[in-house]
């Protein structure tokens, strides 16, 4: 398989970009025609950002799994689709060919059907990084069920909230998951999430760790038994064929929950056709994928990066995707390099936080590892500092591999701003140029396009996008107005990203980070309001304010100022109790790094917390706090400064 839409030079990029803006219909038709459709579209694009309403390839019929699997079988049937590297390096690697993937996905689709799952039903998936997770995701897509994958680090309470929000009736999980030296008891977390739940009908449990689990008769079934039964049912000539459900272009493919600046996480909904076209197109172009290359994205499939660049994008391109169960530092900090060496990885796509954490171990873990297979390196999830960029470039890429800095979001479905490896120029810590079809614009607080350069000769503003690309968010599940308010109401006729950015004369973008109350901790998005709500649930807490502060490895750390009524025991114990409450309510990923007990929070006369001041103090700035005259009680600031951790 080659890719007729692959951009091979700067000139081709410029032409593609121009064509995509001046004739979007023609441009995207010519890309989309290289996919497998059950019926072609009537119209390429119809949209307004007011409602918002965005429809790509309207009238078309397809099933994304036919594009990710069936269409490759003839030529690539025996080629690896997924190479699975287990947590324990001593355990056997599993190579899943396209033929095998087809068989397993069809089999699992049959299992879902046998258990009553129908098109449009929501299936929550809570598993570790095992090939069965891919079968579960694609099995859902095969029968047209909407999957909602939940990252293994979320607590029972978070799962319960997501089950409720998505009105999910089915769960796929496993007894446990291996991550480094730990076993995570997934099924028992699910059991806690299901206490009092009356909507979930079936829980399918895959056996991975064989930790003892409770299995409720009538509700809980074993994956292995169900798969075996499905195999006897529909096996034909060695291959199980389960017909791919015919989906409308705009039928929802999945829900993925993500944090925003207010309230509870939102269920971002992506559609079938647009998401497929964009993840494939961006995968091939950003990473300059060539048939036969081994692609290793280190993300967890519980996040959008794993959805788009371990599963859907690579598989739709007929690529070989490495899936890693473990963590970068176990059994030692050379694990990524061992995997690159062992599987002859050509493309490595990881997060700045992982790079910074590995930098901390020095060059020792890289010694003796053959990284010569590497051709392209990528980063995603947060701004990459220049030091980490250069370390990656020099010590991993040996200065021979283009580094792509890919900016995008859960809501964008795929990469929107990035250099194209070796094709358009890289620049340390700059995401650089927009992909064809993407029209970024920087605006000021009033939504006016920024035209005045700042003291560095750059434009600086809030990053918005002017028109839809195929994988733009379609809605937030169950509450369309929330989608409008969050992304399309801040500035009329623009999609607002929540990020700030700089732009230079050549049209390059540098993302500066979130401008709203969303933190980016180790590349994970966490809303400050969510963490505050969790802390406030702890007994004795009167109120709290959470801000981010620069953290050497995580990018941002979580700093919580807590007003406490009565300290139970000592302060240190109370801190640990609060962390336990946050872990229960959200999950360990949201635990504050620092908790400072304070008598009061800096508030304006109208009662608004002045976070700007708290942010500065957390960052270590104590003298230049800006205007504090609006404060009700300036005295609290002094006290907070004194007590800074």
Residues that bind ligand WTA (CB under 6 A): 258, 303-305, 380-383, 405-410, 431, 497-499, 511, 513-514, 520, 525
**Alpha helices (H) along 348-486:** 352-359, 386-391, 480-483
Are the beta carbons of 141 and 125 closer than 8 angstroms?
Answer: no
Least Å distance, CB 370 to ligand WTA, is 28
Least Å distance, CB 535 to ligand WTA, is 22
d(CA 115, CA 221): 9
**Residue 190 or 388: which CB sits closer to ligand WTA?**
388
Number of H helices, E strands in the chain: 20, 32
Least Å distance, CB 605 to ligand WTA, is 32
Instruction: Read off the DSSP letter of residue 261.
Output: S
Least Å distance, CB 71 to ligand WTA, is 27
Least Å distance, CB 267 to ligand WTA, is 13
Least Å distance, CB 163 to ligand WTA, is 21
**Residue 65 or 497: which CB sits closer to ligand WTA?**
497
Least Å distance, CB 449 to ligand WTA, is 20
- The dihedral region occupied by 542, where left means phi > 0, alpha psi between -120 and 50, and beta the remainder, is alpha
**Residue 161 or 499: which CB sits closer to ligand WTA?**
499
Residue nearest to ligand WTA (CB): 410
**Residue 334 or 383: which CB sits closer to ligand WTA?**
383
Instruction: Read off the DSSP letter of residue 463.
Output: E
Are the beta carbons of 174 and 211 closer than 8 angstroms?
Answer: no
**Residue 331 or 425: which CB sits closer to ligand WTA?**
425
Least Å distance, CB 406 to ligand WTA, is 5
- Collapsing DSSP to helix, strand or coil, 581 comes out as helix
Least Å distance, CB 248 to ligand WTA, is 26
**Residue 32 or 297: which CB sits closer to ligand WTA?**
297
**Residue 3 or 495: which CB sits closer to ligand WTA?**
495
d(CA 285, CA 289): 7
Rg, Å, the chain Cα set = 24
* Nearby residues of 444 by Cβ (< 8 Å), 6 or more positions away: 450, 461, 462
Q: What tokens does 81 get?
A: 């689709």
Element containing residue 340 per DSSP (H, E): helix 335-343
Parallel, antiparallel or unpaired: strands 459-465 and 403-406: unpaired
Are the beta carbons of 172 and 163 closer than 8 angstroms?
Answer: no
Q: What tokens does 512 get?
A: 């500066």
Q: Burial of 521 by CB count in 10 Å (0-12 exposed, 13-18 middle, 19+ buried)?
A: buried
Q: Burial of 200 by CB count in 10 Å (0-12 exposed, 13-18 middle, 19+ buried)?
A: middle
**Residue 280 or 406: which CB sits closer to ligand WTA?**
406
**Residue 97 or 409: which CB sits closer to ligand WTA?**
409
């Amino acid at each position: 398989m080659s890719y007729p839409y692959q951009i091979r030079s700067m000139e081709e990029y410029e032409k593609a970009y121009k064509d995509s803006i001046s004739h979007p219909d023609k441009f995207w038709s010519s890309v989309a025609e290289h996919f497998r459709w059950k019926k072609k579209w009537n119209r390429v694009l119809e949209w307004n950002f007011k409602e918002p309403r965005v429809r790509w390839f309207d009238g078309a019929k397809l099933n994304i799994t036919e594009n990710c699997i069936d269409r490759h079988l003839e030529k690539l049937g025996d080629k690896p689709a997924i190479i699975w590297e287990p947590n324990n390096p001593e355990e056997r690697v599993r190579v899943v060919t396209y033929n095998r993937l087809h068989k397993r996905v069809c089999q699992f689709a049959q299992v879902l059907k046998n258990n009553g799952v129908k098109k449009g039903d929501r299936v929550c998936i809570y598993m570790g990084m095992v090939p069965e997770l891919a079968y579960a995701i694609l099995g859902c897509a095969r029968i047209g069920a909407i999957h909602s994958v939940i990252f293994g680090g979320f607590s029972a309470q978070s799962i319960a909230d997501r089950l409720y929000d998505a009105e999910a009736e089915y769960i796929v999980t496993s007894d446990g998951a291996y991550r480094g030296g730990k076993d995570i008891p997934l099924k028992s977390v699910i059991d806690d999430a299901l206490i009092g739940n009356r909507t979930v009908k079936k829980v399918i449990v895959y056996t991975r760790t064989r930790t003892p689990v409770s299995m409720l008769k009538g509700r809980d079934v074993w994956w292995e038994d169900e798969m075996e039964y499905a195999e006897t049912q529909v096996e034909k000539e060695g291959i199980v064929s389960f017909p791919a459900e015919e989906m409308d272009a705009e039928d929802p493919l999945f829900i993925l929950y993500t944090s925003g600046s207010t309230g509870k996480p939102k269920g971002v909904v992506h559609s079938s056709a647009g998401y497929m076209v964009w993840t494939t197109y961006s995968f091939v172009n950003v990473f300059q994928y060539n048939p036969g290359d081994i692609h290793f994205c280190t993300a967890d499939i519980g996040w959008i990066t794993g959805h788009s660049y371990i599963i859907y994008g690579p598989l739709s391109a007929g690529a070989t995707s490495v899936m890693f169960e473990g963590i970068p530092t176990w059994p030692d900090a050379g694990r990524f390099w061992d995997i690159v060496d062992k599987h002859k990885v050509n493309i490595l796509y990881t997060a700045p936080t992982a790079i910074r954490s590995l930098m901390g171990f020095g060059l020792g873990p890289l010694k003796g590892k053959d990284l010569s297979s590497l051709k392209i390196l990528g980063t995603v999830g947060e701004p990459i500092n220049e030091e980490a960029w250069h370390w990656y470039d020099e010590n991993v890429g040996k200065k021979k591999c283009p580094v792509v800095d890919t900016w995008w979001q859960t809501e964008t479905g795929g990469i929107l701003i990035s250099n194209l490896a070796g094709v358009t120029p890289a620049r340390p810590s700059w995401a650089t140029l927009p992909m064809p079809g993407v029209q970024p614009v920087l605006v000021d607080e009033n939504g006016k396009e920024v035209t005045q350069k700042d003291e560095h000769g750059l434009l600086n503003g809030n990053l918005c996008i002017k028109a839809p690309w195929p994988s733009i968010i379609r809605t937030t599940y169950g509450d369309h107005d929330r989608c409008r308010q969050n992304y399309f109401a801040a500035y009329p006729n623009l999609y607002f990203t929540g990020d700030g950015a700089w732009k230079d004369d050549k049209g390059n973008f540098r993302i500066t980070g979130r401008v709203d109350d969303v933190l980016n901790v180790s590349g994970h998005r966490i809303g400050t309001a969510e963490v505050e709500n969790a802390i406030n649930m702890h007994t004795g807490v009167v109120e709290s304010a959470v801000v981010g502060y620069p953290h050497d490895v995580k990018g941002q750390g979580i700093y919580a100022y807590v007003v406490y009524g009565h300290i139970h025991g000592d302060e240190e114990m109370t801190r640990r109790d609060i962390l336990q409450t946050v872990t229960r309510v959200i999950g360990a990923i949201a635990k504050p790094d620092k908790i400072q007990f304070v008598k009061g929070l800096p508030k304006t006369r109208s009662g608004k917390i002045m976070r700007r001041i708290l942010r500065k103090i957390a960052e270590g700035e104590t003298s230049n706090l800006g205007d504090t005259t609006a404060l009700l009680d300036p005295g609290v600031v002094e006290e907070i400064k004194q007590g800074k951790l």
